[in-house]
Structure 1
Amino acid sequence: MLLNSAVDLLQNEEVEAIIGPGSSMQANFMIGLGSKARVPIISFSATSPSLSSLQSQYFIRATLNDSAQVPAIRAIVQTFGWREVVLIYVDNEYGNGVIPSLTSAFLEVDAHVTYWSPIHPSVTDDQLVEELHKLMRMPTRVFIVHMLTPLGYRLFTKANEAGMMEEGYVWILTDGITDFLSTLNASAIDSMQGVLGVKPHVPRTKELESFKIRWKKKIQEEYPTNEISELNIFGLWAYDAACALAMAVEKLGAGNFSLQKTNISRDSTGFESIRVSPVGPNILHSLLSTRFRGLSGDFQIGDGQLRTSGFHIVNVIGEGERGVGFWTPENGIVRRSNSTSKANLRAITWPGESPSVPKGWVLPTNGKKLKIGVPVKEGFSEFVKVTRDPITNTTKITGYSIAIFENVMETLPYAVPYEYVPFETPDGKAAGSYDELISQVYFQKYDAVVGDITILANRSFYVDFTLPYTESGVSMIVPIINNRSKNAWVFLKPLTWDLWVTSACFFVFIGFVIWTLEHRINEDFRGPRSHQVGTIFWFSFSTLVFAQRERIVSNLARFVMIIWFFVVLILTQSYTASFTSMLTVQQLKPTITDINELIRTGQRVGYQNGSFIFTFLKQMKFDESNLVKYDSPEQLDGLFSNGSRKGGIAAAFEEIPYMKLFLAKYCSKYTAVQPTYKFDGFGFVFPKHSPLVSDVSMRILIE
């Protein structure tokens, strides 16, 4: 019927342009005819994004594409920090058209569509209630609704009855419902309290108000029984489309608008051949260049459709809607339409008359506790320790990581019920590596994993980590060389033999000089020959500890002693420093300092069983046959004691937290050497896009 009417207009009425069709489905039929006849087809209500892919230059959309509102909705979700949303839409061409754009747009702001809920246009009330109950059992509480008013009214009526319009819920409407909020009755508005919606922004002007008055008066005269006389956005776009076409024709001036018959006798639809308009291309060109201030705002066609000027964000409250802000392509969300500075939205009343922003998710309401997986290991139990009481058959989970997690969960502003589940085999052994433990979250066997789990880039592809709660890095542990001498002459080693002999000679020489200067005038340096020789040696060596008893009378001798005291001070202090360094620092010298030396000489190195360090060492070009695993600090000490040639190891690679524990126990035997390889420390594991990640991370920072 539509196709016949269009062909009749083109063939018999010889039209040069067509305003219409009214829907996207009708536009699919009309676009081909317009291209064949070279007649502009101007639609003010065909909003489906799929029409853009047809790329017909003769199809002009004097309305906004449904996808034009997607950035505004995305900006709202981003502003309030919601990470998960549910899309509820009518299951037809209108509803399905915008869903791909919404899904990809949310990913750009790190939000995730957890569920798609298509609603059939002829859905029954029972089916609608069943679908709503399914949504209630999900943790996500942010719902994006894309459908038209009749179905939307039924949806919100049932949602209100089901208790889904209470505090904690978020509902965001596309323009399919928001444009017609003023036409809904009081009962429908009551069931939508607290809902947010977006709709094309229409500036308030004197021309618009005057036109509305004339429109209402005209409708009341011609249709006195019609209770609804409000002019919606499609009426404004229709008026602007007609004005734009009139302006385009006026630019061309009067002319011959005759049609020429094509050489093709029949088209593909079987209708009589379509005539080609000689002026259609000119009208199209003139229309595309037409710009003016219309009733709906600035009218300008770009890429075959009306350019977006902005969207109005409204909040359903009381008896109708209240504007809370705007979104523009240039400035994003702003409080006023003419503002260029970004600002928060006005105060919003959320469902349940709540003034506080909903967090957008809740824990499942079925009373189920979160299953928290914990690693089972033999050594390094300071972080996680799983013990089982053989009498009561109860399991107790303790350790530093567990204490941090429990403290964080206690400080959350909401209760999170959870239970620990050890990752173990029936005989109590570890059920796999840390990577296998983390994969249990991805496969939804665990809701989270808590323990000494290292944050790695490859693991972040399928799970989310909180911020780290320990320092990061991997270092090499090696034995230290014991340079402490075992003989009784160790005190001679700080000075070389040359220096010892020289010092002794100087001691004797200084004694002789002082005796020469003093023995004639100082009785302390007189007496028998043997006494004088003894005085020379005694006086010089007693200056080491400044214990000389002889008086110095000669000024020249005093001058010599000043210089000698200075030399003795330097000599004794240097000896003390060297001797101390020899007994302490030198004995901490590591046996190996170069990783390349380990690789070149084929030395055996150790790594903790189940750790990612095994993969790290293989990437460092270590031969897999030279990699030895261990489970505990005691086992690591034993491997070091055996040495690389006797089935042990020459070095071990360990994360800093484990390294500190090991060195605290064996500080006299081993040391850590540089470099330290950067890693991100220990964190807690949650499913991808889990809303708990941000809250737990925030508490880790506070703690």
Structure 2
Amino acid sequence: MGAVRFMSLFLVALVSAAAAARTVAAAGAPPREVTVGALFTYDSTIGRAARLAIEIAVDDVNADRTVLAGTTLKLMTQDTNCSGFLGTIEALQLMEKNVIAVIGPQSSGIGHVISHVVNELHVPLLSFAATDPTLSASEYPYFLRTAISDYFQMHAVASIVDYYQWKEVTAIFVDDDYGRGGVSALGDALIAKRARISYKAAIPPNSNTDVINDVLFRVNMMESRVIVVHVNPDTGMNIFSAAKKLQMMADGYVWIATDWLAAVVDSSSGSKDLKYMSHIQGLIFLRQHTPESDTKNKFMSKWNNVARNRNISFGLNSYGFYAYDSVWTVARAIDQFLISGLQINFSKDPRLNGSNDSTLHLSTLEMFDGGDQLLQQLLLTNFTGITGPVQFDSDRNLVHPAYDILNVGGTGSRLVGYWSNYSGLSVAAPEILYQKPPNTSTSAQRLYNVVWPGDSTTTPRGWVFPNNGQPLRVGVPIKASFKELVSIGQGSDNVTGYSIDIFNAAIKLLPYPVPCQFIAIGDGRKNPNYDDIISMVAANSLDAAVGDFAIVRNRTKIAEFTQPFIESGLVIVAPASKTSSSAWAFLKPFTLEMWFSFSTMFFSHRICGCLNRGPKDGGVAAIVDEMPYVDLFLSKHCNFRIVGQEFTKEGWGFAFQRDSPLAEDLSTAILQLSESGQLQRIHDEWFSEPSCASDDSEVGATRLGLGSFWGLFLVCALICIFALVVFFVRICWQYSQYSNSEAADEPGAAAAAAAAAAAAAATTERQKRPTRLGSFKELIQFVDTKEAEIRRTMKQRSSDKDNQAAGPSDPHPVAAA
């Protein structure tokens, strides 16, 4: 026993001495080697490309004298075997080997588990393929994603959906952390674009063909034909194989696959026969964008040479690029860690000391003392790799996330555009747009033309009426009156009325069958609350509301309305005897609020009585209601008329749930009914002309004859006579003034004639001039003479008179020649 105890103490002392020597060596000079780990599945689409890329990256780092000079980067890998359980065990075994950083894992599920371990051991974890957005730095501070998060990818998908104006999508996803996290992010991104996931189809990991067929069968029963597939690359192609057999890759379908499909297509590009290509014709898929560069081309050339030398048949995918850059990220961070004089030391976790009796040997796990400092160096990373800028933002995401958007056609795929978090959809490469101001406006979004499934170049509508045997639930208000608009008889299908006829006619114009089930709302004794019915549509208790529903602001906020099938403005109705030009004066004492207080959703003999009695006898002066109701009322009561014009404008439409594609198709159908004249014919059938239109006794008070204007004629006549008298008096006065001015001019004229001629000439002149009173003919000539000419003549005569009066008194007469 004493010897055994002595040997134990000796071994402990020996180990302690070795550790001390290692510490001294580390303090005095950089270590000869540092060990990093790598976690991925060797035999997988992502793992095969990543494994070779990581090996090449380690070789390149060790060959580069500017990074880790004098220190060799040593790599230790563990195979996670595409299993969450085995992957976790392999990760723990890797932690036992005192690695100072881990590259991986590629699985988001394993990433969640192992992140708890590295948090405790202070070992940074750099994943090049775990894209689940819920792997956040706030929960896992030692987790660092060196690839693009699916948060951005799902925003790219949502932008594509919005670009083609689709409103509903079906999401097929693998039922694990990766799939659930991605679809959750997709739902949030679609909501921001006023779209939604209408159906989620979860596929358990490693499902067989029968399970996949069952899921696709349910998907095909849904109305959405825009299907987003977010699954694992190693089993995802089975979905398209099954979809092809179910004829779900035909015209009218839209398939969008996330970047997992790019990994499959790129990895298979080296194969002579890509057997799955025929199953995905017309499909759209995304791929992480990596800008073209010399560094990227050199790496691809080296990767292909090594693969060819090792007889590797699979190709390189974008995850291999991120794995390569991850190694360089770790190497640069370790280099700065050592340059700063920090040491690589490990220490026991005191919380694991009590687990010595456990067969799991948890006590062998040690904490990396410099883990926090190495993590800080990683967060300061800033270099240009083969994937572009390698730099982390405040949320620890790579800056400038971007994706290529590709369209499968023939034996390959073609680029139709890009998406970046900087400028959205574009046909220009993101690195070009980074040099310009960001522009995410709708007008700036652009993609090249796509060839859709079925070899169609026409953008699919994206939905059909669901083939699940469930009819459209149509809410119909049961009214107390105005049954011409909507009414229901015995049985829920016995629904008639103007609004119902238009709805049925529009449904028949749709290019797909839509079975309907009319649901009566109301007891028929009083009108139901229409806002409550619209709320039932918004709450998904009804699929649609059909009837006399006015399209008003508060309703459009919660429901989607079709194109109005009839205009409906408010008008004032008063007794016919009050609808003359004095009607407004008659209604002036009544405020608009008073008019509305008399407005009602139905008319009856009591309302007629109130209008006939008038406000002085306990009745009303007028009522205010919508034009269609008024038309129906006036068709039966001819002693009332509309006063003035409509003073509001709105319309009646059919209500659907927000962003329902059926509302858009019904709007198009209503426009077709209007263009063909069928809408007017339906209107004329229900809104007939008044039956008493030819009854003179009823409408005589409103007819306008000559007798209706005698007062106006009398006023006009009096005004004309008065104007004529004034004119005649004024003419006589002017003529008198004119004649007086002519008479006053005669003596001066006679004196001038006597000095220049004989008395006979003067006598002859007086014989030619008419008498002072003149003749009637002269008066007429005077009237025809322009007033300006008369004034000028009178002014001239006055001037001549003044000159003659001044002549004899001139002291210096001018001598005659």
User: TM-score, structure 1 length as denominator?
Assistant: 0.70
Greater Cα offset, 66-75 or 47-56: 47-56
Aligned match of 1:607: 600
1:464 aligns with 2:560: yes
Aligned match of 2:147: 63
Cα gap change, 1:7/1:73 in structure 2, threshold over 3 Å: closer, same or farther?
Answer: closer
Cα gap change, 1:367/1:71 in structure 2, threshold over 3 Å: closer, same or farther?
Answer: closer
Greater Cα offset, 111-120 or 373-382: 373-382
| Equivalent in 293, 298, 322 of residue 384 of structure 2 | 293
Cα gap change, 1:257/1:21 in structure 2, threshold over 3 Å: closer, same or farther?
Answer: farther
| Equivalent in 151, 167, 183 of residue 99 of structure 1 | 183
Q: Report the CA distance between 1:160 and its aligned residue.
A: 0.4
1:124-523 aligned within 5 A: 124-184=208-268, 186-222=274-310, 224=311, 226-228=312-314, 230-254=315-339, 255=341, 257-259=343-345, 261=347, 264=350, 266=352, 271-272=362-363, 277=368, 279-302=370-393, 303-338=395-430, 340=433, 342-365=444-467, 374-375=476-477, 377=479, 379-380=481-482, 383-384=485-486, 397-399=496-498, 401=499, 404-405=502-503, 408=506, 414-417=511-514, 421=518, 423=520, 432=528, 434=530, 447-457=543-553, 459-460=555-556, 463-474=559-570, 477=573
1:40 aligns with 2:40: no
Q: Give the structure, 1 or 2, with the largest relative contact order (CA under 8 Å, sep 6 or more).
A: 1
| Equivalent in 197, 211, 220 of residue 113 of structure 1 | 197
Cα gap change, 1:119/1:285 in structure 2, threshold over 3 Å: closer, same or farther?
Answer: same
Q: Report the CA distance between 1:332 and its aligned residue.
A: 0.8
| Equivalent in 581, 586, 598 of residue 590 of structure 1 | 586
- More helix, by proportion: 2
| Equivalent in 687, 696, 699 of residue 666 of structure 2 | 696
| 2:493–2:518 Cα contact (<8 Å) kept | no
Greater Cα offset, 141-150 or 204-213: 204-213
Greater Cα offset, 283-292 or 294-303: 283-292
Aligned match of 1:510: none
Distance 1:154 1:597 in 2: 68
Q: Report the CA distance between 1:286 and its aligned residue.
A: 2.6
Figure out how many residues of one structure are paired with residues of the other and give that number. 567
Distance 1:432 1:654 in 2: 17
Greater Cα offset, 99-108 or 264-273: 264-273
1:432-461 per-position Cα deviation (integer Å, ceiling 9, x unaligned): 554566567568786534332112455456
1:654 aligns with 2:654: no
Match of 2:363, SS state, is: coil
Q: Report the CA distance between 1:345 and its aligned residue.
A: 1.6
Greater Cα offset, 247-256 or 117-126: 247-256
Distance 1:422 1:64 in 2: 50
Q: Report the CA distance between 1:261 and its aligned residue.
A: 3.4
1:603-628 per-position Cα deviation (integer Å, ceiling 9, x unaligned): 973511xxxxxxxxxxxxxxxxxxxx
Distance 2:204 2:89 in 1: 30
| 1:90–1:147 Cα contact (<8 Å) kept | yes
Output the amino acid matched with 2:551.
I
1:300-349 per-position Cα deviation (integer Å, ceiling 9, x unaligned): 12222323431110111111222111001121110121554735322211
| 1:478–1:590 Cα contact (<8 Å) kept | no
Output the amino acid matched with 1:261.
S
Distance 1:448 1:4 in 2: 55
Distance 2:277 2:428 in 1: 25
Q: Report the CA distance between 1:368 and its aligned residue.
A: 7.6
Distance 2:215 2:252 in 1: 19
| 2:471–2:517 Cα contact (<8 Å) kept | no
Greater Cα offset, 29-38 or 321-330: 29-38
Cα gap change, 1:124/1:591 in structure 2, threshold over 3 Å: closer, same or farther?
Answer: same
Output the amino acid matched with 1:323.
L
1:105-133 per-position Cα deviation (integer Å, ceiling 9, x unaligned): 11111112111110111333222222222
Distance 2:257 2:251 in 1: 18
Cα gap change, 1:29/1:402 in structure 2, threshold over 3 Å: closer, same or farther?
Answer: closer
Aligned match of 1:685: 655
1:512-565 per-position Cα deviation (integer Å, ceiling 9, x unaligned): xxxxxxxxxxxxxxxxxxxxxxxxxxxxxxxxxxxxxxxxxxxxxxxxxxxxxx
Q: Report the CA distance between 1:64 and its aligned residue.
A: 1.6
| 2:549–2:654 Cα contact (<8 Å) kept | yes
Output the amino acid matched with 1:349.
V
Distance 2:563 2:130 in 1: 48
Distance 1:592 1:196 in 2: 66
| 2:226–2:255 Cα contact (<8 Å) kept | yes
| 1:42–1:62 Cα contact (<8 Å) kept | yes
Distance 2:410 2:160 in 1: 22
Cα gap change, 1:203/1:456 in structure 2, threshold over 3 Å: closer, same or farther?
Answer: same
Output the amino acid matched with 1:250.
D
Match of 2:404, SS state, is: strand
Distance 2:89 2:212 in 1: 38
| 2:150–2:185 Cα contact (<8 Å) kept | no
Aligned match of 2:770: none
Output the amino acid matched with 2:460.
P
Output the amino acid matched with 1:298.
P
Match of 1:242, SS state, is: helix
| 2:125–2:143 Cα contact (<8 Å) kept | yes
Greater Cα offset, 296-305 or 189-198: 296-305
Q: Report the CA distance between 1:157 and its aligned residue.
A: 0.7
1:404-441 per-position Cα deviation (integer Å, ceiling 9, x unaligned): 546655665x2445568484899x98895545665675
Distance 2:205 2:519 in 1: 48
| 2:493–2:517 Cα contact (<8 Å) kept | no
* Rg larger in structure: 2
Q: Report the CA distance between 1:92 and its aligned residue.
A: 1.2
Greater Cα offset, 367-376 or 277-286: 367-376
Distance 1:269 1:26 in 2: 23
Greater Cα offset, 20-29 or 196-205: 20-29
| 1:423–1:430 Cα contact (<8 Å) kept | no
Output the amino acid matched with 1:356.
T
| 2:488–2:496 Cα contact (<8 Å) kept | yes
Match of 1:180, SS state, is: helix
Distance 2:216 2:347 in 1: 57
Q: Report the CA distance between 1:688 and its aligned residue.
A: 3.9
Cα gap change, 1:423/1:66 in structure 2, threshold over 3 Å: closer, same or farther?
Answer: same
Share of identical aligned residues, percent? 30
Cα gap change, 1:597/1:673 in structure 2, threshold over 3 Å: closer, same or farther?
Answer: farther
Cα gap change, 1:186/1:589 in structure 2, threshold over 3 Å: closer, same or farther?
Answer: same
Cα gap change, 1:645/1:152 in structure 2, threshold over 3 Å: closer, same or farther?
Answer: farther
Q: Report the CA distance between 1:171 and its aligned residue.
A: 0.7
1:453-480 per-position Cα deviation (integer Å, ceiling 9, x unaligned): 1124554566421133444554565568
Cα gap change, 1:424/1:99 in structure 2, threshold over 3 Å: closer, same or farther?
Answer: closer
| 1:640–1:650 Cα contact (<8 Å) kept | yes
